[in-house]
Amino acid sequence: MLDYVALGLILFVGVVLFYGIIALHDIPYEIAVSRNHPHQDAIHATGWVSLFTLHALWPFLWIWAMLYREDRGWGLSDGQSPKNHVEHLEAQVADLQQRLGALEATTTSVPAPEQPSSTHQSEER
């Protein structure tokens, strides 16, 4: 009787481990789905490939899935929409042009210092 209990326990643990590993490999795909990742299918397919490589690719899938968020994309933006960003840059350029014009106006009103003449030459022989 104890032999059957042990066999049942071994089978139960084996089934739980088998399905647990399959569920574990799907975590990056579920992250990608929740973030509306543009590469969801590639992450899912690579997760299955990772099963056959003993999860060697799994950490990279996790990173790949976590990099993208729908509200900020790949995380490389400054939080502004592209139109607002361009308007901000144009305002900065206009400000710099105005400051440069003011600087040029002040430098043209000041006379340039005279350069010393180099007519003095000495001859030594």
Half-sphere exposure of 51 (CA within 13 A, CB side): 16
Out of 14-23, 77-86, 92-101, 115-124, least confident range: 115-124
Three-state DSSP class for residue 56: coil
Q: What is the pLDDT of residues 45-94, one digit of tens each?
A: 999 999 889 889 999 999 999 999 887 778 765 555 667 778 888 999 99
15 in helix, strand or coil? helix
Q: pTM of the prediction?
A: 0.55
> Six-digit token pair at 55?
């999860």
Phi, psi of 117 (to 5 degrees): -80, 150
DSSP lists the bridge partners of residue 73 as 69
> How far, in Å, are 31, 96, 107 from residue 99 at the CA level?
49, 5, 12
